[in-house]
């Protein structure tokens, strides 16, 4: 069995599998070179290019998982939402009612993602898992209402407070679309999928319980394959995250992994090095990895990763140092 899948099944392993969130991206010179010739959206929607970008970090570092090159916003374009990337998504702010009334996801308009998965699967070593993904409903809603990224998403939070019923209708619609999108990814050959709930932490514990977890849970509960749920900055709602019903959780670096594990209980955990560790030096990286693995102790089901995406200023050699440290080099 592929080591990443064995960890998700909580089997004992001699060393944990490792991959890095945002491993296919701007810190790699070969990525930046390809992006000089293709816009972001063109790269995502051209399977040969998207597969090449997915494979770039695997060729260098032989991670245990290859995350498909796309964006959490990609399927929304196939629901009729126009956007550009500069570098993050930019779009017209939408009302909650407009979002609930968006057309159904047209899977034919995202079939390039399935084709990328197929191409990547053929090229990968047998031991490397294909990781599909989508944005969780509340995080997608944040970008749709705000019209792009934001430090605190205040306008969005105001809208959700003003009309929770309308927010729920929009979340339900997005959850149905993302369920179909992830089913397509599994059918195309994804071994595991990750739900990115990057902005779930903006909500208080009650809102999280009432809206955020049920929307993500509606996706996780209807899929047959393994699901990793990642809600950075939502440690205040850690127990509530269990209602999502994922078999594995990504955790940020704000608390040591053993504390997260004690509270979450019988699940696999992914994380949780501070991305800043990769800005240090190989010696420090090795020490931090050693401490992380020591904290995990004899628990099964650990996947080494960062507690958030890799920073674009990270030297690629430091990613090599991380992988070597995990594998005992």
Contacts with ligand 1CP, residue ranges (CB under 6 A):
21-26, 35, 40, 67, 69-72, 85, 87-89, 133, 148-149, 196, 198, 309
Number of neighbouring beta carbons within 10 Å of residue 63: 24
Task: Supply 189's token pair.
Answer: 């050959």
Instruction: Select 28 or 238, whichever has its Cβ closest to ligand 1CP.
Output: 28
Task: Give 42-48 contacts, CB < 8 A, sequence gap 24+.
Answer: 43/69, 44/69, 44/70, 44/71, 44/74, 44/112, 45/112, 46/112, 47/112, 47/115, 47/116, 47/118, 47/119, 48/119
In whole angstroms, the minimum distance from the beta carbon of 69 to ligand 1CP comes to 5
If the CB atoms of residues 49 and 285 are measured against ligand 1CP, the closer one turns out to be 49
Q: What is the nearest approach in angstroms of ligand 1CP to the Cβ of residue 289?
A: 20
- Residue 20 is classified by DSSP as -
**192-196/129-135 β-pairing:** parallel
Instruction: Kindly state the smallest distance separating residue 291's Cβ from ligand 1CP, in Å.
Output: 24
Which 3 state secondary structure label does DSSP give 83? strand
Smaller CB distance to ligand 1CP: residue 246 or 296? 246
Instruction: Write down the least CB distance from residue 96 to ligand 1CP, Å.
Output: 20
Nearer to ligand 1CP, 61 or 296 (CB): 61
Q: How far apart are the first and last CA of the chain?
A: 23
C-alpha closest to that of 109 among 135, 136, 76:
76
Q: Measured from the CB of residue 214, what is the shortest distance to ligand 1CP in angstroms?
A: 20
Short-list 311, 252, 324, 320, CA closest to 279: 311
Nearer to ligand 1CP among residue 18 and residue 296 (C-beta) = 18
Angle (CA) 217-63-299 rounded to 5° is 60
Of 88 and 93, nearer to ligand 1CP (C-beta) is 88
Q: How far apart are CA 3 and CA 84, in angstroms?
A: 37
To ligand 1CP, the closest distance from the beta carbon of 68 in angstroms equals 7
Work out whether strand 227-230 and strand 65-67 pair parallel, antiparallel, or are unpaired. unpaired
Least Cβ distance, residue 327 to ligand 1CP (angstroms): 20
Nearest-approach distance from CB 84 to ligand 1CP, in angstroms: 11
Nearer to ligand 1CP, 148 or 214 (CB): 148
CA distance 38 to 71: 15
Shortest distance in whole angstroms from residue 151 CB to ligand 1CP: 10
In this structure, the number of other CB atoms found within 10 A of the CB of residue 277 comes to 21
φ, ψ for residue 139, nearest 5 deg: -70, -40
Q: Given the complex with ligand 1CP, which of 88 and 256 has the nearer CB atom?
A: 88
b/e map 18-47, b = 16+ CB within 10 Å = bbbbbbbbebbeebeeebeeeebeebbbbb
Which CB, 78 or 296, lies closer to ligand 1CP? 78
């Amino acid at each position: 069995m592929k080591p990443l899948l064995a960890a998700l099944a909580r089997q004992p392993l001699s060393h944990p599998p490792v991959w890095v969130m945002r491993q296919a991206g701007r810190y790699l010179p070969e990525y930046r070179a390809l992006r000089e010739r293709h816009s972001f959206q063109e790269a995502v929607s051209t399977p040969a290019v998207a597969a090449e970008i997915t494979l770039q970090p695997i060729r260098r570092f032989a991670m245990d998982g290859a995350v498909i090159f796309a964006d959490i916003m990609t399927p929304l374009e196939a629901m009729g939402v126009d956007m550009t990337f500069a570098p993050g998504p930019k779009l017209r702010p939408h009302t909650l009612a407009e979002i609930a009334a968006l057309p159904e996801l047209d899977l034919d308009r995202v079939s390039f993602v399935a084709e990328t998965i197929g191409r990547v699967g053929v090229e990968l070593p047998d031991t490397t898992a294909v990781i599909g993904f989508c944005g969780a409903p509340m995080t997608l809603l944040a970008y749709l209402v705000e019209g792009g990224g934001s430090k605190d998403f205040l306008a969005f939070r105001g809208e959700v407070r003003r009309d929770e019923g309308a927010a729920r209708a929009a979340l339900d619609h997005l959850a149905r679309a993302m369920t179909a999108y992830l089913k397509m990814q599994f059918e195309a050959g994804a071994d595991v999928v990750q739900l990115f709930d990057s902005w779930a932490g903006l909500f208080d514990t009650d809102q999280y319980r009432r809206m955020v977890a049920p929307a993500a849970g509606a996706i996780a509960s209807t899929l047959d394959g393994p699901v990793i749920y990642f809600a950075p900055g939502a440690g205040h709602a850690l127990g509530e995250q269990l209602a999502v019903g994922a078999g594995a959780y990504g955790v940020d670096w704000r608390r040591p992994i053993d504390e997260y594990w004690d509270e979450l209980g019988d699940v696999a955990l992914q994380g949780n090095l501070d991305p800043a560790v990769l800005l240090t030096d190989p010696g420090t990286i090795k020490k931090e990895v050693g401490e992380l693995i020591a904290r995990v102790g004899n628990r099964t089901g650990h996947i080494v990763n960062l507690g958030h995406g890799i920073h674009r200023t990270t030297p690629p050699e430091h990613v090599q140092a991380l992988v070597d440290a995990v594998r005992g080099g």
